[in-house]
Amino acid sequence: ASFESVLFVIPCESGYIQLETTKDANGNYELNIPGLADVASSTPIYAIARTSDETPYFDAGKMMQANYAERTHKLIIVPTKEEYSADIAKIQKQINAIYGRVGVTYTVEEDRSFTNDETVNFILEDGLDVSADDESRWQVESSEMKLLRDLYENSHPDMDKKAAYLFLVNQAEAPYESTEGDMPRNQSVGYIFMKNNIKLEAGRVVAHELGHGVYKFQHTFDYKELSDMKEKTDNL
């Protein structure tokens, strides 16, 4: 629309706060949005506009700015083979660079008490089954995932139920051998597939799987309208 003037404002008890803005040659606005103390709510930001200097301002649009309290989570990385390991400092730095932008930080630990277990080795001999069924793949735990989690919980009675866990395993079962990781949505336990690697250093892969499990995100390309965008953006 052709506006003579656009202002961006936040309502407050005394009226409104007008935000500082800059406008480029293409008509795009950049806003300076203040941090607000009430982290339990979202803040409405209105665009008010007028078509000429002789007409009053009217509401041209609104968006909600979500406010988040800072949070700290724990991630425990669990190798299933003696030769597997993780660069804890590097992974923690990488995932905090990603999630720190929304006030979320992680402390990362490694638990090597689950390596070379005979039952675990037997389950993973031909790779981890990631497909509960064709409809729920990547969304719910398979029977092998549940068995691994149960084995870990039974051997760790003091397991931190508030932490997220990522098991380092060999690979996913056919036909998903190329898969890098899997953390079923809304689950606290996930899996990173080492394949020919012995040391985990890819913090972005870890952050991606946490997005599924801890935050219940699904891939953007899982939406029909965005199905052709796979690997075409820098989205996490």
Distance CA 79, CA 34 (A): 43
- Residue 136 above 60 pLDDT? no
Q: Identify the pLDDT of residue 218.
A: 85
Angle, in degrees to the nearest 10, between helices 88-99 and 203-213: 60
The residues, ordered by sequence, that sit 6+ positions from 13 with a Cβ below 8 Å of its Cβ are none
pLDDT of residue 231: 82
Q: Do 165 and 78 touch, CB atoms closer than 8 A?
A: yes
How high is the pLDDT of residue 27?
Answer: 84
Contacts 24+ apart (CB under 8 A), 31-40: 33/65, 34/10, 35/67, 36/67, 38/67, 39/67, 39/68, 39/69, 40/67, 40/69
pLDDT tens profile 85-106: 999 999 999 999 999 988 899 9
* pLDDT for 137: 60
Q: pLDDT at position 134, please?
A: 58
Q: Of 110, 113, 70, 112, which Cα lies nearest the Cα of 90? A: 110
Average pLDDT taken over every residue of the chain: 90
